[in-house]
Structure 1
Amino acid sequence: MSTLPPLLFALRGSESYSARVAQWLGCALARHEERDYEDGEHKCRPLDPVNGREVVVFHGLYGDDQQSANDKLCRLLFFCGALKDAGARRVQVVSPYLCYGRKDRRSQPQDPTITRYVAAFFEASGVDQLITLEVHNPAAFDNAFRMPAWNLQCTELFAGHFATLVGNDEVVAVSPDSGGVKRAELFRQALERLLGRSVGSALMEKHRAHGSLTGTLLIGDVCGKTAIVFDDLISTGDTLKHAGIACQKAGAGRLFAAATHGLFTAGSQLFDQPIFEHIAIADTVPPFRLPPDCVTRHLRILDSTALVASLLAENGAFDCA
């Protein structure tokens, strides 16, 4: 068995995040080649020898202005297959944002459960382990993968951020819908431990039909308190805004929001009439859809790379000095 440390590869578009994880581990990124062909096909191969080596491949599977989520997924799977064909002993994938996490169940007859299909694709490509952050439905994620698959929770990261901001205020952790209750509760518990005092909880009623949100019931007391709306991701921002407005109407004294993945698919629409003092997100998806001044004024971006580096260090012999 090789005693060499794992090789770390970063596919195109994921270099910045990967380099920061590698810095935590004291490693450099390995070399690879990516080529695009005239008809839209693509190939990717390692340039450093991988035979007998453990390798880690980084790729965030969000669509951007260069590649769709489907493009990135396909390229990642093909590269992992190439690594195994070249003799890699073990292939780990780090995908800070994992695509298709929201399509985890059948909501109407003959619906696909794409989360499960994605898991099958990873396994068929020879991936031995997956690390991702804050999946939409942890139970569906755990059930979809037969190989070791780690869902890193970011609750402690956000709790540390807000613990420095709330002072002596009474604080309430708000779930913007029933599906996020467990996630918001983990955040509440983490914040309570750091503050050393009680943190309340609240739940916003939400129903979605034909692209519109309804529901007016806010369960929990936010009046005169600091309310923090906590979710896994921001797409259009409608869910956060729906909960935030309800907290405003219920008399919240201060209002913040947090979500691990900031997709902002509707651009800066969420900030046209700001209701939050700021929104905290992790660095799993760069806020490329937002103007720079909007990012500066309305967002606080938290570094999640230490979480990933810590887990990789536990799972692999990283001594790259």
Structure 2
Amino acid sequence: MLHREERNLDNIPVGSLGIIPVDGCQEMGDKVNDYLVKWRKESLNQHKEDLLFHEYVKDNYIIDAQVPRFGSGEAKGVIKESIRGMDLYLMLDVCNYSLTYSLNGQVNHMSPDDHFQNLKRIIAAVGGKARRINVIMPFLYESRQHKRSSRESLDCALALQEIVAMGVDNIITFDAHDPRVQNAIPLSGFETVPPTYQFVKGLLERYDDIQIDSEHLMAISPDEGATSRAIYLANVLGIDMGMFYKRRDYTRIVDGRNPIVAHEFLGTSVEGKDVIIIDDMISSGESILDVAKQLKARKAKRIFAAATFGLFTSGMERFDRAYEEGLIDAILTTNSIYQSPELLKRPYYISCDLSKYIALIIDTLNHDGSISDILDPNERIQHLVNAYKEKQNQK
């Protein structure tokens, strides 16, 4: 992992640091805050007497902000302390369906639309008093609707334009479904961060017998959209890659999309090899499990599925069956969105923690420093793989 002390943080901070985890993102916010408090206390002597670093070291960077609701379901954003001149980082998890609110006595679960409205309420409550507003939204709101193929809305592009018009300077997201959506806001900061390092780390910590070479390991893209992710993983690990493409029935629409008829494979033989299926999200799981079934039919050895976001919209039962039948050996997703207690109990599940990564990004941006090294994990992956192989050789 890239350590804080390895970066040049000599720049004067943009403003006093403040973090606002919007409702549903408090757990991640607390973890990020803990890292920042620890790091800045360690650098206390370096800037102790410098007025430009006033309030640089604090016991807590989280700003007291709330979004209370009226009985009618309406809400408002409230900030309960001064944020004037601050460099604010608003953290949002639009996928946290565990939160509920009362609507005329009925219990409603929070939808992505509700979470996005809460983000706008907090931005509105800031009222232009902060020096800079940055939004960290790991799952980019409405990013699955990233292009127009008929007379359709472009919700993600509109949402980006809306929050930029409200005063947001930078938007940080993870593994955007299609990063070209940033073309909607060409004059604003937009970064999409790959969690490839966290996947490799999570997998190598769980398994000590993976042979990282083209004879024993392969990266697989489950569809055309994930090809660039699989190519990158294959290149940094020095292994081969293969891909599936989806044959769809364009005469029908089921659950808002054309149903998949079959997955066709392109690539070298997977026989006897461990494979890593990599994608940006697991939704119902239908696609990834069908790909796993096809790989097993081609005599693949172990199958690991890695996706930035584990939505699991149809529950865990089908994954339980696939694990019991030997179709999949492990599923890796990040903690950037809500993880249900049921998911965390699964023996085949590996959670990849992004809190330190997000803290590094916030710490660097607050100093107006370059985050290029943080965004490119190649060097860190090589270090991790070399240490792993060295450990294997010592056995």
Partner of 2:334: 282
Query: Could you say what secondary structure the match of 2:143 adopts?
Result: coil
Identity %: 22
Alignment of 1:1-321 (within 5 A): 5-26=16-37, 27-65=60-98, 66=100, 67-85=110-128, 87-108=129-150, 110-138=151-179, 140-146=180-186, 147-164=188-205, 165=207, 166-168=209-211, 170-190=216-236, 192=237, 198-209=238-249, 210-211=253-254, 212-220=259-267, 221-274=269-322, 275-288=327-340, 291=342, 295-317=345-367
Cα offset, 1:128, TM superposition: 1.1
- Give the Å deviation of 1:264: 0.6
The amino acid across from 2:342 in the alignment is P
Equivalent-residue separation in structure 1 for 2:244 and 2:339 (angstroms): 26
* Corresponding residue SS for 2:218: strand
SS of match in other structure, 1:281: strand
Secondary structure class of the residue paired with 1:6: strand
TM-superposition CA deviations, 1:94-153 (whole Å, max 9, x none): 112222111011122x11122211111111221111111111112x23312331011111
Residue by residue over 1:211-264, the C-alpha shift from the partner in whole angstroms, topping out at 9 and shown as x without a partner, is 422224211221110011100001101111121111111110111101010011
Q: TM-score, normalised by structure 1?
A: 0.89
Q: How many residues are matched?
A: 307
Cα 1:148–1:39 change in 2 (3 A) is same
Query: 1:51 corresponds to which letter in structure 2?
Result: R
Q: Is the CA contact (8 Å cut-off) linking 1:98 and 1:132 kept in structure 2?
A: yes
Q: Whole-Å Cα distance in 2 between the matches of residues 25 and 189 of structure 1?
A: 33
What secondary structure, in the 3-state scheme, does the structure 1 residue paired with 2:68 have? strand
Please tell me whether the aligned partners of residues 95 and 338 of structure 2 are also in contact (alpha carbons under 8 angstroms): no
Q: Answer whether contact 2:202 2:351 (CA < 8 A) is retained.
A: no
Give the distance between the partners of 2:318 and 2:235, measured in 1 at CA. 28
What is the TM-score with the length of structure 2 in the denominator? Answer: 0.73
The one-letter amino acid paired with 1:119 is L
Matched residue SS, 1:18 = helix
CA distance in 1, matches of 2:182, 2:164: 14
Counterpart CA distance in 2 for 1:93 and 1:150 is: 11
Contact 2:93 2:338 in 1 (8 A): no
Structure 1 gap ranges (5+): 193-197
Structure 2 residue matching 1:35: 3-state secondary structure: coil
**Which amino acid in 2 is paired with 1:9?**
I
Counterpart secondary structure, 2:116:
helix
Q: CA deviation at 1:297?
A: 1.5
Secondary structure of the 2:359 match is helix
Q: Could you tell me whether the CA contact under 8 Å between 2:77 and 2:124 is conserved in 1? A: no
Unaligned runs of 5+ in 2: 1-11, 38-59, 101-109, 369-395
Q: In structure 2, how many angstroms separate the alpha carbons of the residues matched to 1:203 and 1:176?
A: 6
Question: 2: distance between equivalents of 1:208 and 1:47?
Answer: 52
Of 213-222 and 52-61, more deviation after overlay is shown by 213-222
Q: Which has the larger radius of gyration?
A: 2
Query: Which letter maps to 2:359?
Result: A
Match of 1:36, as an amino acid?
R
CA RMSD of aligned residues (A): 2.0
Change in CA separation of 1:91 and 1:178 when aligned onto 2, cut-off 3 Å? same
Paired residues of 2:247 and 2:264 also in contact (CA < 8 A): no
Q: Is the 8 A contact 2:67 2:118 kept in 1?
A: no
Contact 1:5-1:317 at 8 Å conserved across structures: no
Report the alpha carbon displacement of residue 315 of structure 1 after superposing the two structures with TM.
0.8
1:263/1:2 CA distance change after superposition, 3 Å:
closer
